[in-house]
Structure formats: C-alpha cells, structure tokens
Structure 1
Amino acid sequence: MAITHNRDFEPHYGKCVWVAPAIRRVVAQNPNAFTFTGTGVYLIGTGDVAVVDPGPSLPVHLDAIEACLLPGETITHILVTHTHTDHTAAVPDLATRTGAHTYGFGPHGPVSSDDPLERLDFSDHISPEEDAAFAAEWADLPEELKREGPDTTFVPEVVVGHEPADSKGVSGLLTAANWTVQVIHTPGHTSNHLCFRLLNDGTGKSALFTGDHVMGWATSVISPPDGDLFAYLASLERLLLGSDDYYLPTHGPVIDDPAPYVRSIIDHRNDRTEQIVDLLAGGTHRVVDLVPQMYADVDKRLWRAAGNSVYAHLLALAKEGRAEGANGTTAITASWHLT
C-alpha cells in the first residue's frame, strides 16, 4: 500500500506559532535531507511549560524558544522523544538557561560499528561527481548542524516510560498545573523512543507528539543495532490503541486523521519486506545492490539511511528463518539470500 506523504509545510524559522491554545511551535533553521525543513520544537501548556525535543544548540534558536514564552511563564520540563542530536543537542543549554528537569526513557542504545568494512559503499551506483557534490554540501554546513546522529551523552534526570503499558499502551504520566501528558514507549526507530500524548490541547482534542516514530513528510529510518523492525511495527500497533485527534512529529506538518496513516505505514513496511523477498528470489544481493532498486526515486543522499532500513528488514527475515547472509553471517555488508 502506498503512503501519501505531506510535504506542504512552512517552517517560519524562529517564529512562535500557536498550533492550538495549549501548543506552540518553534522550528530551528537546521534543514537537510534528514530533518526536512528543520527540527520543530513544541511548547506544551501555559504557566509551567514543557518543551518537547529542544533541537540543535544554536544560540539564536534557544533565544527563539524562550521568546515564545508569555510573561511570567517558566519552562519546567524538557521532554525527549529519543537521543538523536537534532532533537537533543540543545538540552544541556536549555536546562542551564531555565532550570528545567529533563525527562526521557534512558541513554542511547548500541550504535553501529565504525569499522570501514561495516560501512555501506554505493560507489557502484553513485558517481564520483555526485559523491563530491554531496561532500561539498556537507562541508558547507555549520559545525553544529553536522552533529546529526546518535547522542550518546544524554542521560535524563527523570526516567519515564518504563511502567507496564496499560490497555491503551500508556507507560507513564506527567502532570503540571495546566497540562497532563501520557508517556508511550515506542521503540523501533531507536530503542529509547517515546511518544507523548497531551490529553487536552485547549480545545478538548488529544495531540500525540511522535518525534521520529511517525512523520508525515517521509518514513522513519530504522538503524540496527539499536533500531529494530519488529519493535517498530509493534510500536505502531500500540499507537492505534489510542484515539488521538492528530499527531505532531518533530519534523514537518501536523498529521490529521492519523490512524489510517499509521496503518498505511505498517502496510508499507510489510510490502518492503516482500519486495526484498522477491528480489532475493532472483539471486544473492547485498544491501548496496537492493537499495538502488528499491529506492530509485529517492534522493541518493538518503540511500545510506535507506540501507539501514533495508538491513533492518533483512535481520527480521533472518529472525524468521527466511533469509541469511553468506556463510550464515548477518553483517550489513554481507551478500544475502533466501533460506
């Protein structure tokens, strides 16, 4: 089943945009192939305010977050959906500025190997000229915006999301004078990913802050060893236990009528698995051979990220006994075949 993405979004960099009476948004000016138009930082409530995913540690961005406060308001909570630096780099600075406490599931899980042999090499599919152009684009970015990827330094002051999930998938509750937020553990994109449900956005509607778990502009990347396809699919099913009126991803626009969209993501992931099975039925393939066939219409800058997701699908097939790497290995660089 095809997913209908929505990329119609005006970031209004540095401006305070009221999404609902109890929700404000400030978008950081850190756009790239992975963050879309940049990191959207949400402020929840009035009076005692919670900030979801502070974003990059750019002074002008931190100033914009604080400028979004009304007179007499204080940031008391910093909620972290997961530990990628485009979400968390500003946490220490914002906590120092405001005295707010930090809340999250825990530190980042295991990261992929730095061994050059474990890196995906698309040189057979990306020309030297394209590769040089991509490298030049990266070199032109400010150093702070190059800090994309796992944040292995973040440790929350308050650990949340570890309680046994109830019938709606909720694993904790956070409250202040003017807001109540449910905590939902949603591993898959990362093992420590959380979603936060604001029970009343000021109009009586329920809003779910989905981080990178569900985005409207693109599908999420699943990067082993910390990312896991089975966990991701189970987390999507967990969201369907709720009845949220809309989702607010950290990147991109609001997702209205989210349940059908979530189902389309589940269908899409299952279709990707079967696409890989069909390709492997024709012979042995490496990840770097599968990606150009599966993502021919996707920006090549995203191919390595897509390769991680393909690898997650292969590992899932291996767990099911349907595929394996050469000589029984499960390396990302292995040649894979059906069993």
Structure 2
Amino acid sequence: MTTPDAGSPDPLKRSSPLTRFRLAPNPGPMSLEGTNSYVIGAGTVVDPGPDDEAHLQLLASVGDVRLILITHRHPDHTAGSERLRELTGAPVRALAAEHCHGGRPLVDGEVIDADGVEVRVLATPGHTSDSVSFHLPDDGINGSVLTGDTILGRGTTIIDYPDGRLGAYLESLELLRALGPATVLPAHGPILPDLSAVAEAYLEHRSQRLTQVRAALQELGPEATVEQVADHVYGDVDPLVRGAAEASVGAQLDYLRSE
C-alpha cells in the first residue's frame, strides 16, 4: 500500500473534524450521486462502495488502512470490500457474518478504537435487517453519526421489505433522534447538521405515509394488493424506483396488518 506525499493535496474531502470521504462513481436513482466512502481518522474505511478499481486504489492510498466497516449488506456498500482487503490487509467487519472478511461480526453497543477515535456501533435495523450506524461522540461539538442508508442526505430511504421492517425502522429513528444534534454523515447525499431534526422529519414522513396507506385500504378494501396500494399512494413515482416504492408499501401493509 502506498501513502500520499506529505505535500500532495488530500484526495478526500473533509466531512467532519474526524472524518473525510470520497464519492464513489456509482450514481443512480437509488444511490443518488453515488456512495460516500468515509475514512475515520487515519485508517478506518466505512462502506468501500462498488468494486471499482480506481476508487478502491484511492481509498487504499490515503493512509494506513487498518479496518473496514460496513453499514449494511447492499452491494453499493459492500461490493468493493474484499478487494480493499486485498489491497490493504485490513479486516472487514459487518453485522452480518457473510459480509465479514478476516474480521468478526460487529456487535450492537460495542466500542471500537479507530486509531484513537471512539466509534460506537449502533444496530439500526429497518432499511435492512443488518443495518448499523456508527456514532463518533467526540467528532466536533455534537459528535457525528455515519448513518448508512438509515438516514440519507436527501429524500427518504426505502424499507427493503421483507428483509427490512417498518416497526424496526421506526425504533431505529427514535434511537437516532435521541442522540441530539449530531452531524449526519449519510452514505448517499450531502452531509446534514442536525440528526435529531432529520430523524424527527423522517418519523413525521413515515406517519404521513401510513395515513395515506390506511386511506387507500379504506377505499380499496383490506385485502388490497401491494401493487394496488402503490398505484394509489405512489402513482406519480418515477418508474425507475417503482420497485422501491412497492417494497415500502409491502413494509407498511405488514406493519398495519400486524397491529
């Protein structure tokens, strides 16, 4: 592994006092501008992103990479992790064992010492069953949280039902809201200044969507299908994200029918 010259410009952008990031070249309707691959301190990479050689070579060159962390199983976060391990020798750790390479699974509540930076692992399921967030309490005045896809920098995330579940997601949003005005370091989209406010807005959005789904069921009948409810609630959605809308409707119907 090579490291940049002391006088050369940093190829990463500063995202908070203790983190930097590089935008991966994988833009799309679900990934927005692309995946934000973060580096905590001198050498802990979070979400290497796609298996793009130039992107991974750059991440490998920015310092002494000793640990690779994964927020959840989706390939726009994990596909490059094995290759980055090859380039750096750093173990890959995720909540799900199948996405760990040379490292043990993450444990909810554990504290990782990332070269002197305290990183607290928070299980935040809902988007997927294996979603985690990373809380850096000493990152600036209010700390920061790497939220993966649980909270995005723009718009709202999907519930990847049936693996993801709405009830778990609402509980995760409550957990994040309780952390106060921490900086939000999302896996997609821009950095946001106040985690508590964003989590509150997400909870309100989910409440509004549930109201819309209840109204659709009243009109269509209690046995309405996912497709019928999606037509009613998400009728104007871009066809490119229709599948995501149907996954969220499935999660909402499951949540309402289990109440």
Contact 2:135 2:145 in 1 (8 A): yes
Partner of 1:160: 106
Whole-Å Cα distance in 2 between the matches of residues 264 and 20 of structure 1?
Answer: 22
* Equivalent position to 1:18, from 14, 26, 31: 14
* Equivalent position to 2:251, from 312, 315, 324: 312
Contact 1:27 1:38 in 2 (8 A): yes
* Equivalent position to 2:71, from 81, 93, 117: 81
| SS of equivalent residue, structure 1 residue 180 | strand
**Structure 2 counterparts to residues 174-189 of structure 1, below 5 A:** 174-189=112-127
Partner of 1:222: 159
Q: What do residues 229-269 of structure 1 show as CA deviations (whole Å, max 9, x unaligned)?
A: 00000011111221342111100101112212211111211
Contact 1:41 1:54 in 2 (8 A): yes
The count of aligned residue pairs is: 247
TM-score by length of 1: 0.69
Contact 1:15 1:27 in 2 (8 A): no
Aligned Cα RMSD in Å? 1.7
| SS of equivalent residue, structure 1 residue 61 | helix
Following superposition, the deviation at residue 160 of structure 1 comes to 1.8
Partner of 1:59: 53
Whole-Å Cα distance in 2 between the matches of residues 79 and 291 of structure 1?
Answer: 35
> Does 1:251 find its partner at 2:172?
no
Percent of residue pairs bearing the same amino acid type? 34
Contact 1:52 1:78 in 2 (8 A): yes
Whole-Å Cα distance in 1 between the matches of residues 105 and 110 of structure 2?
Answer: 10
Q: What do residues 274-300 of structure 1 show as CA deviations (whole Å, max 9, x unaligned)?
A: 211111111233221222332234322
| SS of equivalent residue, structure 1 residue 208 | strand
Contact 1:161 1:194 in 2 (8 A): no
> Does 1:172 find its partner at 2:110?
yes
Whole-Å Cα distance in 1 between the matches of residues 181 and 65 of structure 2?
Answer: 25
Contact 1:195 1:209 in 2 (8 A): yes
Give the counterpart letter for 2:174 in structure 1.
E
Instruction: Call closer, same or farther: CA 1:278–1:319 in 2, change over 3 Å.
Output: same
Q: What do residues 32-52 of structure 1 show as CA deviations (whole Å, max 9, x unaligned)?
A: 111000011000002xx1101
Contact 2:92 2:99 in 1 (8 A): no
Contact 2:158 2:244 in 1 (8 A): yes
Partner of 1:270: 207
- The structure with the largest alpha-carbon Rg is 1
Q: What do residues 118-153 of structure 1 show as CA deviations (whole Å, max 9, x unaligned)?
A: xxxxxxxxxxxxxxxxxxxxxxxxxxxxxxxxxxx5
| SS of equivalent residue, structure 2 residue 244 | helix
Following superposition, the deviation at residue 54 of structure 1 comes to 0.4
Gaps of 5+ in 2: 1-9
| SS of equivalent residue, structure 1 residue 82 | coil
Give the counterpart letter for 2:104 in structure 1.
V
Give the counterpart letter for 2:48 in structure 1.
P
Gaps of 5+ in 1: 1-13, 108-152, 163-170, 321-339
Contact 1:208 1:244 in 2 (8 A): no
TM-score by length of 2: 0.90
Give the counterpart letter for 2:233 in structure 1.
M
